[in-house]
Amino acid sequence: MPSPTGDPFLLTPGPLTTAPETKQAMLHDWGSRDAGFIETNARVRSRIVAIANATDSHVCVPVQGSGTFAVEATLGTLIPRHGKSLLLINGAYGHRMAKILDITGRDYQILETPEDTPPNPDDVDVILAGNNDISHVIMVHCETTSGILNPVEEIATVVANRGRALIIDAMSAFGAIELDVKKIPFEAAMASSNKCLEGVPGMGFAIISKLALEKAKGNSHSLSLDLYDQWQVMEKTSQWRFTPPTHVICAFDRALDLYEAEGGLAGRGGRYRDNCRILVEGMAEMGFKTLLPENLQAPIIVTFHMPADPNFDFQSFYNKLKDKDYVIYPGKLTVADSFRMGCIGQLGETEMKGALQAVRETLSEMGVTTGTPA
Ligand SMILES: *Cc1c(COP(=O)(O)O)cnc(C)c1O
């Protein structure tokens, strides 16, 4: 059962299935100095900051590229060249930030937990108490590697009490899981156009404290990833430095209309929680087991253990689901053999039930009687 455009449904962590209206919003050309485009850009930026309830204290600084560009730009802009960070890792996106800090030459200490285990806020407190040279704590909100929800509020409290700054990779959670700066104080949070806000891929952004940005001049190792400079130019001229992804921004504005029409954070988060529940329950009926217990599972992407049945072969499972118009995602775990199915994007009950039906038919075609893992 294909989508209205005939494209398969993407049950992945991105790129994601987008609404027809969002795709249609790209059927024009805009000049970067076009007044209509400048207005759209300003509107997108202010809507994003409002989602974090940060209008009075923070600004949205967008950057061309995928989400990782925004992560690298933010770390390079905000962490002074001789600054030191504490990086919390429990998956591939945490490791990616370690690589960024290595390449940009910023010193850091790691607190690593297994992929199915959130960081303990007490451990963070002990490390901060013993290391006055740590200025920033860096963490991932939802670690998309496993789908785990990290305790961002508890950690933010510890970090604030110790007078340090928090940087959150909120990429896969922003817009669906609450990130209210009044409850979760952060210096910066990064996300992109193409995750829970359901725009098309092509731009990332950071929501950054104005006070922190004012102090960030000259920190960046990079010209194109310098968010201080991007911010300054955008404030002064209302324009992007370098060619803006015009179509992506106009599609994003439309996607934000749909977000608001759906009821914002409550509506979007509610739909994803329903998607997640339908998926987990339906897969459990076929014997599949999730990596994470319910209390650690974010309603973003679900990791399932590989079935033990000798007839099960992941590549042919993947191909047969794709033939039925559902695209899933391989696992990225080191702790267990697994695959993932996403709950985000322009998908609802019908699509989740369609995906379950496709899994059921595929298992039967493969001669697999149960999804139960070893
Ligand atoms: C998707 C994602 C990113 C960015 O990945 P890109 O492929 O560069 O868009 C970063 N962090 C997390 C947690 C993500 O889910």
CATH of domain 9-16+264-366: 3.90.1150.10
Contact 344, 272 (CB under 8 A): yes
For residue 171, the one-letter residue type is M
Q: How far is CA 330 from CA 41, 228, 296, 301, 314, in A?
A: 35, 37, 20, 12, 8
Ligand 1 centroid, distance to 316 Cα (angstroms): 27
Cα 2 from Cα 71, distance rounded (Å): 34
pLDDT on residue 2: 64
- Please report, in angstroms and rounded to a whole number, the separation of the first and last CA atoms in the chain: 32
Using the structure block, give the residue that is written with the tokens 């700054």: 165
Question: For the chain, which ranges sit under pLDDT 70?
Answer: 1-2
Instruction: Note if the pTM is more than 0.85.
Output: yes
The DSSP element (H or E) to which 359 belongs, if any, is: helix 349-366
* pLDDT tens per residue, range 248-260: 999 999 999 999 9
Q: How far is CA 50 from CA 47, 63, 119, 168, 217, in A?
A: 5, 18, 28, 17, 25
pLDDT on residue 292: 97
Q: Which atom of ligand 1 is nearest to the CA of 14?
A: 1
pLDDT on residue 333: 82
Ligand 1 centroid, distance to 195 Cα (angstroms): 9
Q: Which atom of ligand 1 is nearest to the CA of 91?
A: 13
Per-domain boundaries in the chain: 9-16+264-366, 21-261
Ligand 1 centroid, distance to 133 Cα (angstroms): 29
**CA 6 to centroid of chain Cα atoms:** 26
Provide the CATH topology of domain 21-261.
Aspartate Aminotransferase; domain 2 (3.40.640)
Ligand 1 centroid, distance to 93 Cα (angstroms): 7
* pLDDT tens per residue, range 38-88: 999 999 999 999 999 999 999 999 999 999 999 999 999 999 999 999 999
DSSP codes joined into one string, 125-161: HHHHHH-TTEEEEEEESEETTTTEE--HHHHHHHHHH
Q: Which atom of ligand 1 is nearest to the CA of 71?
A: 10
